[in-house]
Amino acid sequence: MMRKQAHTAKAAEAVAGTPWSITDMVLDIIDRELAVPAPERGAALIAVRDSRLIVDVVSDPRPGESVSYWHSDQLRRRLSDYLTDNPTRRYVGTVHSHPGGYAEPSGPDHQAFANMLATNRAIRDAIFPIVVQAPRDGLGSVLRLGDKHLADLPHGTFAGYSAHPTDAGLVVRPAPIHVVPAGAHAAVVADALTRHLGQPVTVRWGEPLTVSGTAWLTAQFMIDTRTIAGVALGPSYPMTPPMVWAAESASPVFSSWPISATGDHLAGAVSAVLQHQTPPVAAVRAGIRERLSVHLPNQIDAHVLLIGAGSVGSNAAEMLIRSGVKRLTVVDFDTVEPANLSRTVYGSGDLGQLKTAALADRLTAIAADVEITQLTCPLQELTGEVLDTVDLAFLASDDMAGEGWLNHELYVRAIPSVSVKVFAGAEGAELAYVLPARNTACLRCMMGAVGSGDRGDADYGTGRINGSPALGPDIAAAAARGVKVALALTQTDGPLADWLDELVSRRLTYFLSSNVAGWTYTEFARAGSLPFDGLWLTAPGRPECEICGMERVSDTQPAHVAAFTTSPPQGIGDVDTDDHRHGEDN
């Protein structure tokens, strides 16, 4: 049964109605879409379910008539779709604009309010504000109702009115309006954190938090995708204190708070909880440099391309960042699995995440100013747009076919590269580096072409090396040796640069190391070899190689280049063994 519609008031009663809270962000939208254009225009107001906190607005794309407004069919459809997509929110009333300074409901407005309440039985108390382009001191007779129902807009005034049905008819009263300055204060916090941390900080609004049955707005302050702090603001904020917390998992606490608080007070509260957790970037960077300056006198500006974020790759990435690398592009399409936790840098909280995303979170937690680009494409899909920005490549994947293709792409661009691979069971490891500018052999010449050996255990379809058990410290040691060479490639002065220069001048570009006694590939060179034995080898390029030889394939020609073998290079002997490199992406 519909409510009676005949008994409608013709003027708002001069008695305070139901109070409502509304965010400054909603008022900004209302100002832009209702106060600026010519009246009459309207929009549906959205509140958090079971609250009187207005947090959103659904605008009507169609203006009303010159003397009246009610929902268009387009708005009804928009509102229906919005509420379907946002089940924690509810429609609580309609705001529309009036011409001039007439900031109270007209007779037709009262009838429209009554009709809406009659057809929406779930709404017992609604709000029907009026927006005018006049400032509050130009509202004339409306001021007889007081001014607690008024909110100033940049281009006019917002006047709130509550309405509820009674047996005697519709009751319309001025609704006290409290503006929650959430957007303005959050912007002050973001600006303050940006200055303090030296990194752009953005605001992300989340779902409301229920505190003692009351809805509170929540905002997270982000550096890229990482949450560094959060706040919760109640419907009477800033008269009541906010809740503040540091990082995504921390518990919120109430901050000490003055009644007449500003955005600066909120910024101070957030900074207080962060002061022991997020030191300024400059302090972090100075601390990293403090114990590196002797070995790395040149600050590292290189953009490093990391292929593979598994056991070797994740360990190498952390070492690179802790050594001063600031720009890293990581390529990997796998996710973190429980078996990965024994020999990577990931934790149980990373399970199921893409390795690139989990690694980015870990690295930015070490140094907030690092730039991490995450790519999940196959290696053969790396574009020139990506490769042309790279200064150094670190190859640590199990995709031998993809790295065979990338070997050519890097060489023709004169991009130095370091490759680290670990043999089955981590009994040994190999390290190779390529300096095209110094005409060293390419990786294919050092590691051999497909079919040149008999130790292969690669997947026939993908060319990726199958994984096998191995001890984490042995893999980390191999990664560390590769990182040291990579760091040396970023230096022009100092002990690392001198060390590498001697190796290059002697054409020692390939290194084998063992983790067990009598390992096949070191035993042939040194009888009775012990664990941790290692030897540098000369690996000359082949004159016929289309990558580094006399007749190279140019960067304008398609490269039909074979992948690497899973055998050792012929330069260290043809050894008959069943050992094989194991996949690093585990």
**H helices within 178-262, ranges in order?**
182-197
Helix (H) or strand (E) holding 266: helix 263-274
How much is the mean pLDDT over the chain?
83
- Over residues 147-173, the mean pLDDT reads 89
Give residue 448's pLDDT: 67
Strands 581-582 and 417-423: antiparallel
| Angstrom distance (rounded) from CA 185 to CA 189 | 6
Q: What DSSP string describes 328-367?
A: EEEE---B--GGGGGTSS--GGGTTSBHHHHHHHHHHHH-
Residue showing tokens 């190859």 = 395
Higher local confidence (pLDDT), 203 or 522: 203
Lowest mean pLDDT across 129-143, 177-191, 404-418, 517-531: 517-531
Give pLDDT, residue 455.
Answer: 33
**How many Cβ atoms sit within 10 Å of the Cβ of residue 197?**
22
CA distances from 309 to 23, 332, 385, 554 (A): 43, 6, 21, 30
Which of the two residues, 1 and 193, has the higher pLDDT score?
A: 193
- Residues facing 331 on adjacent strands: 307, 375
| Residue among 377, 379, 330, 380 nearest 355 (CA) | 330
- Contact (CB, 8 A) for 479 and 315: yes
> Cα–Cα distances in Å, from 254 out to 207, 272, 312?
19, 12, 44
pLDDT of residue 10: 56
pLDDT of 8: 44
The mean per-residue pLDDT over the stretch 240-262 comes to 79
What confidence score (pLDDT) does residue 237 get? 94
**Pairing relationship of beta strands 161-166 and 126-127 according to DSSP bridges:** antiparallel
Q: Is 60 exceeded by the pLDDT of residue 573?
A: no
With cut-offs at 50, 70 and 90, classify the pLDDT of residue 543.
confident
User: What is the enclosing helix (H) or strand (E) of 286?
Assistant: helix 281-290
CA distance 514 to 292: 28
What is d(CA 120, CA 533) in angstroms, rounded to the nearest whole number?
81
pTM to 2 decimal places:
0.54
- CA dist., res. 563 & res. 461, Å (int): 13
Instruction: Name the nearest CA neighbour of 299 among 63, 487, 579, 109.
Output: 487
Q: What percent of the chain has pLDDT over 90?
A: 48
Residue 562, pLDDT above cutoff 70: no
For residue 231, what pLDDT is reported?
94
Q: Give residue 425's pLDDT band: very low, low, confident or very high (50, 70, 90).
A: confident
The pLDDT tens digits of the residues spanning 428-463 come to: 889 999 999 999 999 888 876 433 332 335 443 444
User: What DSSP element (H or E) covers 387?
Assistant: helix 384-387
> Would the pLDDT of 408 be above 70?
yes
Residue with the bigger pLDDT between 569 and 237: it is 237
Taking the mean position of all CA atoms in its chain, how far away is CA 422? Answer: 32
Helix%, strand%, coil% for the chain, nearest 5: 30, 25, 45
337-380 residue pLDDT tens: 999 999 999 999 899 999 999 999 899 888 878 999 999 999 98
Determine the residue type at 247. Answer: A
**What domains does the chain contain, in order, with CATH numbers?**
20-179 (3.40.140.10), 182-274 (no CATH), 287-582 (3.40.50.720)
**Which pLDDT does position 68 carry in this prediction?**
57
**Average confidence (pLDDT) over 374-390:** 92
For strand 327-331 and strand 428-434, is the pairing parallel, antiparallel, or unpaired? unpaired
CA neighbor of 28 nearest in space, from 140, 181, 132, 135: 181
Residue 467's pLDDT is 52
Instruction: Give 391's contacts (C-beta < 8 A, 6+ positions apart).
Output: 301, 302, 303, 304, 415, 416, 490
Q: What percent of the chain has pLDDT over 70?
A: 83
Instruction: Check residue 489 and report its DSSP letter.
Output: H
CA distances from 233 to 177, 239, 240, 266, 286 (A): 16, 10, 8, 10, 36
Instruction: Go through 264-280 and write b for each residue having 16 or more CB atoms within 10 A of its CB, e for each that does not.
Output: ebbbbbbbebbeeebee
pLDDT band per the 50, 70, 90 thresholds, residue 331? very high
If pLDDT is split at 50, 70 and 90, which confidence band does 54 have? very high
**278-321 confidence digits (pLDDT tens):** 556 777 788 888 889 889 999 899 999 999 999 999 999 999 99
